[in-house]
């Protein structure tokens, strides 16, 4: 729910831009506003979660996002107002990330946390799936505003209800319970995640508009977005299940997924009608299927304070999500979607190399501790 406002903007970009009389490329600023606020909020989010508790922090974030969805659907009539509301939504999302990470770290046993974070991070493509379905179901029938208004209802319900269960430190009996990575290693992880998020978030914002440019109808493009998101859900769930079986070396797998996602972006860059569908599936399923594994890695390598560690890496992810769509939109405006998707593929390849470097650094630290 907390990422849904931005997903809806991406899915309903064609209808929203026509109503507000702004170019689709300008909606890259939507991601900048959303994740820009998240970048500012992230350094404080871990501290707030520690004070409020994970359940209260989750409720607060749901209240914020529910209000953003309601006001957007009922009142937005210009790009500046939309960006302001998305900034509030981004702050709510930044609070929700460490809150849910801490909630799972305290309530799910170590051997099942890969599956748990895979389920949790499937929320992002799930919101994209909802946004994609909203295009033919609401955007092209009763209007894009109703998508925001109707989807505010489950956010409000979530604010009133939160999962229970007592929390405890599942790492307390582990010999590595006091271990934490040096800040420099976390920064390298954050940089790699930031570059990857810059590319993947751009895909979320411009996938539908790019599909229309490649010859798809608006309704078909929305369903393609939903289908690619469904593959993304399966990828995140599957990678989480495999992580529990594998037990370690998750950062290496993240790097592999990013490298394969780069191939998906290259396929998107061809501009071919059918190849676009294949590229969207690969790029969204693998190029945007890694966040659960990344969070699991950071939590396992920093069991002493998972909320603070994941909040730090979230700064990188949020920063990339700010700058990426802005740059992507500029490339689209001046050079077209082919060049923009090509640049995204190069970015994912760079992110894969950076994450491999982080894995090497983390391996040295783990070896030193043991």
Domain range list for the chain: 4-162+174-369
Residues 148 and 78: their CA atoms lie apart, in Å, by: 16
Residues 55 and 370: their CA atoms lie apart, in Å, by: 35
Q: What are phi and psi of 199, to 5 degrees?
A: -75, -45
The distance of Cα 293 from the centroid of its chain, to the nearest Å, equals 13
Question: What SS3 class is residue 12?
Answer: coil
The distance of Cα 237 from the centroid of its chain, to the nearest Å, equals 15
Question: What SS3 class is residue 263?
Answer: helix
Write out the two tokens for 58: 């989750």
Q: What is the 8-class DSSP label of residue 165?
A: -
Q: Do the Cβ atoms of 58 and 160 come closer than 8 Å? A: no
- Structure pTM? 0.82
Write down the pLDDT at residue 328.
94
For the chain, 370 residues long, the average pLDDT of each consecutive 10-residue run is 93 92 87 89 85 91 95 94 96 91 85 88 90 93 95 90 60 51 89 96 91 93 93 92 88 96 96 92 92 88 77 86 91 94 97 95 72
Write down the pLDDT at residue 173.
45
| DSSP characters over 95-153 | HHHHHHHHHHHHHS-GGGHHHHHHHHHTHHHHHHHHHHHHIIIIITTT-HHHHHHHHHH
Query: Which CATH number applies to 4-162+174-369?
Result: 1.20.1250.20
Write down the pLDDT at residue 175.
43
Q: Do the Cβ atoms of 97 and 51 come closer than 8 Å? A: no
Write out the two tokens for 128: 């994209």
Q: What is the 8-class DSSP label of residue 166?
A: -
């Amino acid at each position: 729910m907390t990422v849904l406002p931005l997903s809806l903007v991406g899915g309903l970009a064609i209808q929203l831009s026509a109503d507000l009389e702004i170019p689709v490329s300008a909606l890259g600023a939507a991601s900048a506003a959303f994740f820009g606020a998240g970048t500012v909020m992230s350094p404080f989010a871990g501290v707030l979660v520690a004070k409020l508790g994970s359940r209260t922090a989750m409720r607060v974030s749901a209240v914020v996002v529910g209000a953003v969805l309601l006001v957007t659907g009922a009142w937005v009539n210009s790009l500046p107002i939309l960006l302001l509301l998305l900034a509030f939504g981004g702050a709510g999302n930044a609070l929700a990330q460490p809150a849910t990470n801490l909630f799972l770290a305290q309530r799910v046993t170590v051997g099942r946390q890969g599956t748990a974070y895979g389920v949790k991070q499937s929320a992002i493509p799930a919101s994209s799936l909802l946004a994609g379905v909203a295009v033919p179901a609401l955007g092209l029938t009763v209007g894009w505003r109703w998508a925001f208004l109707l989807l505010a209802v489950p956010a409000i319900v979530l604010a009133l209800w939160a999962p229970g269960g007592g929390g405890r430190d599942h790492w307390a009996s582990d010999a590595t319970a006091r271990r934490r990575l040096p800040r420099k290693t976390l920064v390298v992880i954050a940089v790699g995640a930031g570059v990857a998020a810059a590319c993947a978030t751009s895909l979320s914002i411009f996938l539908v508009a790019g599909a229309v440019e490649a010859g798809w109808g608006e309704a078909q493009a929305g369903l393609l977005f939903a289908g690619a998101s469904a593959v993304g859900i399966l990828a995140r769930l599957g990678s989480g299940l495999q992580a529990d079986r594998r037990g370690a070396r998750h950062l290496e797998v993240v790097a592999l997924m990013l490298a394969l996602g780069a191939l998906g972006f290259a396929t998107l860059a061809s501009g071919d009608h059918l190849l676009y569908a294949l590229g969207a599936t690969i790029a969204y399923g693998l190029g945007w299927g890694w966040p659960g594994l990344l969070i699991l890695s950071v939590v396992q390598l920093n069991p002493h304070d998972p909320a603070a560690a994941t909040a730090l890496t979230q700064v990188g992810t949020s920063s990339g999500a700010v700058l990426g769509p802005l740059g992507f939109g500029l490339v689209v405006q001046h050079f077209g979607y082919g060049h923009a998707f090509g640049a995204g593929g190069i970015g994912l390849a760079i992110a894969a190399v950076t994450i491999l470097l982080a894995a090497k650094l983390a391996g040295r630290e783990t070896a030193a501790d043991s």
